[in-house]
A = this chain, B = another copy of it.
């Protein structure tokens, strides 16, 4: 990496953490310049506009998400074990950022802000839901899930569970959330599994 790319990565890290706490819309070139102790003009040279900064933060987050959540899960054996690995990786990912998963926060922030940022967010969310769907498909192929299950339905139910976890964990600081999450995941996996 050149020194310029290195600086850009540092700014993006900082912007990502800020966005996870206060929302992507709250991140501006001016605010981020202050936070990183850099000049506003220096940040403008890297990102040109607030919109572009927000897009680059989302893309940076998507790269990290793929590397930390999806890729390690795909290295485990297909089936319910892989789904459990994916869920554990996702929970670790929400812990890595101060304010939790940036995509969950951006999903409410940008649902009614049409534009390029929302388009990038939509593509990431569709890819994530597709990843969940493929988890169910490979669990059928491995023999863990019944063949007649609806993989889109499974993706919806699993993502719902993660969204519930996020609210209980990050907003409510609910002390029983780990146990609730484990029980709900077990019920979900049990219901989709082949009868032994």
Contacts and interface: CB of A to CB of B under 8 A. Distances in A.
Interface of A: 21-23, 25-26, 98-100, 104-105, 107-113, 121-122, 125-126, 129, 150, 152-153, 156-157, 159-161, 163-165, 167-168, 170-172, 176-177, 180, 183-184, 187, 191
Contact of A164 (B22, B99, B159): B159
A187 B180 contact: no
Given A98-B112, A152-B176, A160-B161, 15 more contacts: A22-B25, A104-B108, A107-B171, A121-B171, A125-B171, A153-B183, A153-B184, A156-B164, A157-B164, A159-B164, A160-B164, A160-B165, A160-B184, A161-B164, A187-B191
16 contacts: A22-B113, A23-B25, A108-B108, A109-B109, A110-B171, A111-B171, A152-B180, A156-B164, A156-B177, A156-B180, A157-B180, A160-B160, A160-B161, A160-B184, A163-B163, A163-B164
Nearest to A129: B172
A111 B170 contact: yes
Main secondary structure of the interface of A (DSSP, over half): helix
Nearest to A183: B153
Contact of A105 (B26, B108, B157): B108
A131 to B, nearest CB: 15
A168 B125 CA distance: 10
Nearest to A160: B164
Contact of A109 (B108, B153, B164): B108
